[in-house]
Each structure stands twice: as C-alpha cells, then as structure tokens.
Amino acid sequence: MARGAFTLRIDTDERVALETLSKIEKRPMNQLVNEAIKAYLNRRGEKERSLETNLERLRAYRRRDPGFKKAIAAFVEAEATLQDPLEGEPIKGRIVDGRLEPVGPVQSRIRELLGA
C-alpha cells in the first residue's frame, strides 16, 4: 500500500509521551502513531458492524410484516374487543400532585355551554 506524508498537530503533553514511549520501545514514533490509528479504526469498525447487524434485524422484521399490517391488525383487534373503562367519558378536572381536582363552577359552566 502506498504511503503518504501529512502534518499531524498534537498537544505538547501527548508529543512528549509519544517520544518517551518511542525511546522505551525503541520504535519510531511514526510506527507507534500508525499502530494507534489502525487500532482506532478497527474499533470504529466494530461499532459499524454492530450497527449493520441491528439494521439487518430491523429489515428482517419489516420483511416479516410489510407495512406493519399485522401490528396494525393487532392494535385494531385490541381496540375493538377489549374493554376501556374510560372510553367516551371526558375527565372533568385537572391533575394536581397526582390527584384529580374537580373543575370550579366557572369552568363547569363553560364546559356545559360548549357541550364538552
């Protein structure tokens, strides 16, 4: 593979640490930087593979239920057959500190006039 040179700007502390590591390992700084870059790129590759796996799972789910027809049918079935104790009954009042407080006389009269 062809190699190309480029300028890399790093902070002084990292440069000193790299020089020290180069002396300890008796290897050029360039080689250490190349290894670090390759390790970083491989780690990013693992994340990409994980994303690809999740995307494939989503696509497989969509193939099993195109247009979410089964999911929609299940929702419609539940709405049509299961009992909803509050269905069709407006709640009059407001929730304060987790409790329902009834509306005042003015609000009640306005709702009555509006048919709400």
Same domain, residue pair 74 and 94:
no
CA 17 to CA 23: how far, in whole Å? 10
Same domain, residue pair 95 and 76:
no
Instruction: State the total domains in the chain.
Output: 2
Same domain, residue pair 22 and 43:
yes
Structural domain boundaries, residue 108: 87-116
* pTM: predicted TM-score of the whole model, two decimal places: 0.43
Same domain, residue pair 52 and 96:
no
pLDDT in tens, 38-55: 998 888 778 888 899 999
Same domain, residue pair 62 and 108:
no
Same domain, residue pair 74 and 106:
no
CA 86 to CA 69: how far, in whole Å? 27
Same domain, residue pair 106 and 60:
no
pLDDT band at 3 (very low <50, low <70, confident <90, very high): confident
Same domain, residue pair 58 and 35:
yes
Same domain, residue pair 94 and 58:
no
The maximal CA–CA distance of the chain, rounded, in angstroms, is: 89
Same domain, residue pair 49 and 63:
yes
In a domain, 1, yes or no: no
Kindly state the DSSP code that residue 92 receives in the 8-state scheme: P
In a domain, 4, yes or no: no
pLDDT in tens, 66-100: 888 888 899 899 888 888 776 776 777 778 888 77
Same domain, residue pair 78 and 91:
no
Contact 32, 22 (CB under 8 A): yes
CA 113 to CA 105: how far, in whole Å? 12
3-class state of residue 100 by DSSP? strand
